[in-house]
Amino acid sequence: MTHLDLSPRIDDPDRLYAALVEAHEGLDEAASLRLQARIILLLANHIGSTATVCAAIDEARRFG
């Protein structure tokens, strides 16, 4: 199993949150979901490890 580093690592979380909110402004629900999917796929590709991304999915589902 891949270990995820869950410690706070985002250098400017407020800026990131604002950017995510702004990116969704003016989008209907379907367009917002497509944007989220594209962001996820871009970040997953950047990570490059299916095992790591799957571990992140499992971790996120625990909080759902």
User: Is residue 15 in some structural domain?
Assistant: no
Tell me the pLDDT tens digit for each residue of 26-56.
Answer: 999 999 999 999 999 999 999 999 999 999 9
Residues 6+ apart with CB under 8 A from 43: none
Stronger pLDDT, 40 or 63, i.e. the higher one: 40
For residue 54, give its domain range.
Answer: 28-64
pLDDT beyond 80 at 64: no
Number of domains in the chain: 1
pLDDT beyond 90 at 2: no
User: Is residue 51 in some structural domain?
Assistant: yes
Positions of E strands within 1-64: none
| Contact in structure between 3 and 52 (CB atoms under 8 Å) | no
**Band of residue 63 on the pLDDT scale cut at 50, 70, 90:** confident
Q: What pLDDT score was predicted for residue 1?
A: 67
User: Is residue 8 in some structural domain?
Assistant: no
User: Is residue 60 in some structural domain?
Assistant: yes
